[in-house]
Structure 1
Amino acid sequence: MASRDGPVVSGTDGSDFVHRETVAAHYQISWPPKKIITELALNKGRLRKCVFAHLLLALLMLVKMVPDFLDRFDIFILEIEELEVPQPLKWEYIWLVGSLASFLGLIAIRKNRVLLLQIYFGLINLLSTVPILLAAMIYFKDFWKYCTEEEPEGLQLWLGYPVSVLWYSFIMVAMQVHIFTLIFAWKLILAWKNRGAAKKAQ
């Protein structure tokens, strides 16, 4: 261990050590503050949870569409046919296809790829959020009728429950998942872009 009272370089009394305690500016850029690193990890974790929630909703939608898939392949199962599940609309197919973008999102999170995350962001907007908004418009009339009238008539029912109410339950959950997904994805895109800009500035 060096002694404070030991010999010093000529031309200095040894009190000019302060400059050696700081980190050079270009290294400070490449090492972001701990707060930023923590926020990045937090947003990645939150986005990952949103992606898994989206996949769970997609599994629910897939189960709902099983009778239609069986009909298309001419497979007859009496127990499923007796359920009389309503025929799926086009928005359901689009939304289900859009849920495949979740795997792209998981790859982007794992590899920290800005471009992949941007593509994922666009696909979620186009193939998930838009179909859900369309579904909300399709079922709004029946849902409003159910909420405002004491004995609504002409509602489509499934197992005694209004289809519009069941769909609105799904829509509300899905819309929250998509909104939070877009928020966390956008935060990560900005953070990763800023990090890339900082590296280029070096």
Structure 2
Amino acid sequence: MSSRFGPRAAGTDGNDFKHRQRVAAQYQISASYKFYLKALFGLHFTVLLGLWAKVFGEIATTQFGLKSALLKRLDLPTAYPWEYVWCLSFVPIVIALYAMPKNKVKPMTIAYYSQFFFGVLPCCIGLGSQFPELIAYIQDPSRADIPTVRDSFPMVVVWFIFFLIAFQLHIFGMFFQYHLIEAWSPATSTPAKEDEKKTDKKSD
């Protein structure tokens, strides 16, 4: 961009500098939020790997008769239905990564809503179903009917640590996706149209 009194770019009278600044800011926002979202997806996959190991390890043991010394030692409780749904929370990640290179609004919008249905909603259901168990554990930590890991550590505490992490992953993910959608969406009005509107108002 030239200086105020320097040579002017061809095809412009110099009055569109605000529009150029807005476009430049959108590119900066897009680049920043893309970076943040990719870093968040890396953390998300780390948590996903842990749950995949639990759920698919259980399926391999119960359905296919495979034996694992590690799973036997951990003695984890049976997976809840919401766990199977949350295992699909990689879907919005894949869609968002597909949308990023060319700033595609529609796939990122799908990823935004998928983040809720495959991530936030299962966690809300899991939180609601596990909350009575947490209250029961707080009231009586020695209860024998509360599932444990290796017959010592209460599984409900593990779940609430998981919920704390998962909710932050999804909320921040949706926050970044929302701002990317906003940055990529075409402007509702251009400077030329705004000038036309001002001219029409003056003529009236």
TM-score, normalisation: structure 1 = 0.78
How many corresponding residue pairs?
184
- How far apart are the structure 2 equivalents of 1:20 and 1:47? 40
Deviation per CA, 1:143-163, whole angstroms, max 9, x where unpaired? Answer: 23334x364523221221111
- How far apart are the structure 2 equivalents of 1:19 and 1:166? 64
Partner of 1:56: 46
Deviation per CA, 1:55-113, whole angstroms, max 9, x where unpaired? Answer: 11111111122321212222233443343221111111111012232111111122211
Matched, 1:186 2:181: no
> What amino acid is aligned across from residue 125 of structure 1 in structure 2?
F
Partner of 1:68: 58
| 8 A contact 1:61–1:96 mirrored in 2 | yes
Partner of 1:118: 109
> What amino acid is aligned across from residue 51 of structure 2 in structure 1?
M
Structure 1, gaps ≥5 residues long: 1-16
Deviation per CA, 1:159-186, whole angstroms, max 9, x where unpaired? Answer: 2111110000011000001000011101
> What amino acid is aligned across from residue 121 of structure 2 in structure 1?
V
Partner of 1:144: 135
- How far apart are the structure 1 equivalents of 2:65 and 2:92? 29
Matched, 1:175 2:155: no
Matched, 1:107 2:59: no
Question: How much is the aligned-residue C-alpha RMSD, in angstroms?
Answer: 2.8
- How far apart are the structure 2 equivalents of 1:34 and 1:170? 39
- How far apart are the structure 2 equivalents of 1:157 and 1:127? 26
In the TM superposition, residue 35 of structure 1 has moved relative to its aligned partner by 3.5
Matched, 1:94 2:92: no
Three-state SS of the structure 1 residue aligned to 2:165 is helix
Structure 2, gaps ≥5 residues long: 194-204
- How far apart are the structure 2 equivalents of 1:69 and 1:199? 56
Three-state SS of the structure 2 residue aligned to 1:111 is coil
In the TM superposition, residue 46 of structure 1 has moved relative to its aligned partner by 1.2
Based on CA coordinates, which of the two structures has the bigger radius of gyration?
A: 1
